[in-house]
Chains A and B, each alone.
Chain A
Amino acid sequence: MTEIGIFKTDADQSLFHSVIQISNLFRNSDFVLRIYGILKHQGLELANRWQNPKSSKKHAMLRIRNLKCFYGRIMAIKGISLSVNAGEITCLIGANGSGKSTLLSAVCGLLPDWTGEIELKGQSIKGLDPPALVRRGISLVPEGRLIFPPLSVMDNLKLGAYTRYKKKAAGAVEEDLESMMSLFPILRERFRQPAGTLSGGEQQMLAIARALMARPRLLLLDEPSMGLAPMIVEKIMEVLEVLRSGGLTIVLVEQNALAALEAADRGYVLETGAVVLQGAADELLADKDVKRAYLGKDYGDFYDAG
């Protein structure tokens, strides 16, 4: 994360434009000024300082206390407490069955069977169903993408903004469609194609764009790297960093611990329904236990190759 890797080549200029679009999307003029700063100096140094999470003030977007989740009688999460700072990428890593996805299901309302407290900006979300939570600003990019294959890319995106149409925001929705296509230029090319004809990576981008169309405050991603080539994973992580820079709070659930920790500010390691380790992402990356358990001995080689 020492390098955001954008603005280097002409091709990346288009990505920069999408940054501007996204910042408009989140109505963050402060962010636009920072972008100007970067343009002026053309250096990544400033970008690094700006990307440093320690310099920004923190407040909790999501706070979870003593969460226990149940599938029938089976307790899948056994008392997890964690907090997600606003404007940061928080990643949850862990093996299969560690309860990462269950936790996301509880936060987005898919799994109503839980005890404890989940607060979004200090307000409890107990008893709210997914559409109500989407209106409160929580969007999920689900495991396996779950796009709508027979509908066109455009329709998929419009349905992402379903909860906003009632508020007579149709004009704003059109603008956001434009922003999404700047963020993911491939979606512009595929605009009228059925979403089912997209490749895996494109579908993942569509799923992320669809979630963003609801203008969330908190974006939850469940294994966005699953089944994708390292190049695509890198691109998706880059986009997440761009979104974070625009002020979006992100929770990233990943088995691909390396990619997740590289992009994240904070990390939690889950094992069989409990948090076993937590800390700043770079500390976790350097942690011997994490290295051994989740990154593999020679992960450095993999990284250089990727």
Chain B
Amino acid sequence: MTQKEVYDKVVSVLVEEFEVEDDDINLDANLFTDLKLDSLDAIDLMVTLDKELGIEIKTEEMKDLRTIKDVCDFVLATSNNE
């Protein structure tokens, strides 16, 4: 997957599943302070990405993810490793 494909997928999941406003999303947006998600939302975001992209993401690997860029980089790295 390309960086753009991952970003577009993350954006579409955030908008459709988490009802985040499209305008609030950018690479630097913080999941918790800017997008007002919480730790359970973060888990469910990764679960949804796992389902949609078929990549396994372990909960303990997510604890350092803060921004949309963190999520995209993590998904991309995991996807490439698989």
- Does A associate with B in a complex? no
Q: Interface residues, chain A, CB within 8 Å of chain B?
A: none
Q: Interface residues, chain B, CB within 8 Å of chain A?
A: none
